[in-house]
Structures are given as structure tokens and as C-alpha cells.
């Protein structure tokens, strides 16, 4: 670690207001070079600056200190979960991911989702029939891009976090469904999450026309009758209410519930405590 002075650190923090990317890179590199001894100063500084500069400080803090990254994620989750209106799904899944990957740069994954949506927009040009839209959507995502469902016997924690699902193109029903929803949002497609007992699928609803498809099984189109058979086979009592769209809050709560069960089965007390805390905040009345 090279020597530094408090005056230099103060100057570096002021330079974070500069919008020049080259300058910001130099400032970040120097702060990383100094090391985690500047963490307390950065924590103090973030309370006195604009939201734009605070975001830059938070990015540096997350990379310098795992504990700082986790604390920032908790603060973001508390703010998000307290919103009285519909929650931002993408912010929610990014914050859940940061609870386990404190130095996560979500911008990388936002760009990846943007690119997937841009490619799909080209394929969907001039396509209006509901079933055709769903089939082209699924063909691109599950055949061309090769997103797939994880073997139920070999679920790993990475299958639950959207950043790792995007990295590996493999996930559980709800994580693959969320990727569909995030891409659908970018294209203004009327897609909704459907939380069946023991499974999660997506509904495309255009006017009175409904198409259900299963991202875990390569986007296969399914009927309500097939879903009913699966529900009864899994020993649940069938209800049409199962096909009501999940709110974003409900989706995030279900994702956290899945993670809670996963860490409970693996006796991972630290991560279990974290996701349980997140779950309680988002389900609090």
C-alpha cells in the first residue's frame, strides 16, 4: 500500500463529481490502491454529497469492503421494500443479488438484458399474433441463447441469483421467468409472472387472448388444463386464482422464500439470516 494523506483522499472524493470517465477511472484506481483504510472516510462523505456522487462512492465502497457492500445492499432493500406502490422488479432482483455478491456491478447485466431485448425486437418486427410472439420469444431465448432449467436434483445457489443465471444461462423456474419478464418490460410486452404451487410460469395476455409458457421447460406453451393436472398431481387443490398475475412484490418475496428454503436445507446460517431479513421486510404489512 502506498502512502497517502487525508488531504489527498478529500481531493479524490471531490473529483468523483467529475463526469469525465477517464478521470473517474483514475480516481477509483487510486482509492483502490490506498485500500480499505479509506472506507470510514468514504462512509462519512457519502452522507454529504449528491445522489449521483453517492452512487459512485457506493460502487467503490462495495469493491473495497464486503461488509460495506452488504450494508449498502441492506439499506437499498429497506428503502425499496418500504415503497407503498408497486416495486421496481429489476432493482429488487439486483439488490437481492448484491446481498450475496456485494461488489456486483449490475450495469453489466442491465446492458446484457438490453442487448437481448434489442435482438428480440428485430425478430419481432411486424409480428402481431400472440402465439407467434411467444414462440419467437422462446425460440430466441431458449434455443438460440440456450437458457435452460437446472436439474432439480442439483440446484445450486447460483440458480437463484439473476446475475449468475445470466452468466451461466441456467436457473430455476422463477429465475428464468424473471429474465423473461425483464426482457418483456424492455419491449413493452404484456407478460406477467404466474406463481403456481410448486412451479412458476409466464403469461402473455394480449386483450382477451392468453398464452401460458414455461421458461423452465424451454418456453413450452402450456394450457390451463395441463397446469391443473400438474397442480393436482402435486397434491394441491386447484383454483383459478393461481393464474392471477403476481405483483413484483410477490415475485421478490417468492424468490426470497426459495432462497430461505435453500439455505435452511444446507444449514447456511449466515445467508439464511440475510435472506430471512430481506423476506420479512418485503412482506411486512
For 120-143, what is each residue's pLDDT tens digit? 999 999 999 999 999 999 999 999
Per-residue pLDDT tens over the stretch 48-92: 888 888 888 888 888 888 888 889 999 999 999 999 889 999 999
* pLDDT of 1 higher than 60: no
* pLDDT of 167 higher than 70: yes
Calpha distance 123→189 (Å, rounded) = 14
DSSP state of 88: -
Per-residue pLDDT tens over the stretch 187-235: 999 999 999 999 999 999 998 899 999 999 999 999 999 999 999 998 8
Interstrand relation of 170-171 and 148-149 (parallel, antiparallel or unpaired): parallel
Q: What percent of the chain has pLDDT over 90?
A: 68
Bridge partners (DSSP) listed for residue 201: 194
Q: How far is CA 131 from the centre of its chain?
A: 27
What's this model's pTM, rounded to 2 decimal places? 0.87
- Sign of the four-CA dihedral 252, 257, 258, 262: positive
Residue bearing cell 409466464? 202
Amino acid at each position: 500500500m502506498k502512502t497517502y494523506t487525508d488531504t489527498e483522499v478529500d481531493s479524490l472524493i471531490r473529483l468523483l463529481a467529475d463526469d469525465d470517465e477517464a478521470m473517474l477511472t483514475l480516481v477509483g484506481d487510486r482509492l483502490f490502491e490506498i485500500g480499505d483504510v479509506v472506507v470510514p472516510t468514504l462512509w462519512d462523505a457519502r452522507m454529504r454529497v449528491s445522489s449521483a456522487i453517492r452512487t459512485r462512492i457506493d460502487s467503490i465502497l462495495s469493491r473495497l469492503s464486503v461488509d460495506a457492500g452488504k450494508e449498502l445492499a441492506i439499506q437499498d432493500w429497506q428503502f425499496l421494500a418500504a415503497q407503498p406502490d408497486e416495486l421496481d422488479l429489476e432493482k429488487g432482483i439486483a439488490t437481492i443479488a448484491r446481498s450475496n455478491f456485494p461488489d456486483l456491478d449490475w450495469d453489466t447485466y442491465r446492458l446484457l438484458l438490453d442487448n437481448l431485448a434489442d435482438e428480440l425486437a428485430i425478430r419481432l418486427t411486424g409480428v402481431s399474433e400472440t402465439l407467434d410472439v411467444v414462440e419467437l420469444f422462446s425460440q430466441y431465448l431458449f434455443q438460440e441463447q440456450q437458457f435452460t432449467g437446472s436439474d432439480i436434483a442439483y440446484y445450486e445457489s447460483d440458480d437463484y441469483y439473476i446475475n449468475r443465471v445470466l452468466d451461466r444461462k441456467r436457473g430455476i423456474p422463477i429465475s428464468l421467468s424473471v429474465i423473461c419478464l425483464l426482457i418483456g418490460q424492455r419491449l413493452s410486452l404484456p407478460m406477467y409472472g404466474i406463481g403456481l404451487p410448486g412451479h412458476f410460469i409466464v403469461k402473455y395476455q394480449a386483450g382477451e387472448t392468453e398464452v401460458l409458457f414455461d421458461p423452465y421447460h424451454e418456453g413450452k406453451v402450456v394450457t390451463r388444463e395441463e397446469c391443473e393436472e400438474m397442480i393436482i398431481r402435486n397434491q394441491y387443490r386447484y383454483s383459478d386464482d393461481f393464474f392471477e398475475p403476481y405483483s413484483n412484490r410477490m415475485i421478490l418475496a417468492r424468490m426470497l422464500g426459495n432462497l430461505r428454503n435453500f439455505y435452511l436445507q444446507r444449514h447456511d446460517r449466515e445467508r439464511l439470516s440475510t435472506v430471512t431479513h430481506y423476506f420479512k421486510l418485503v412482506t411486512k404489512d
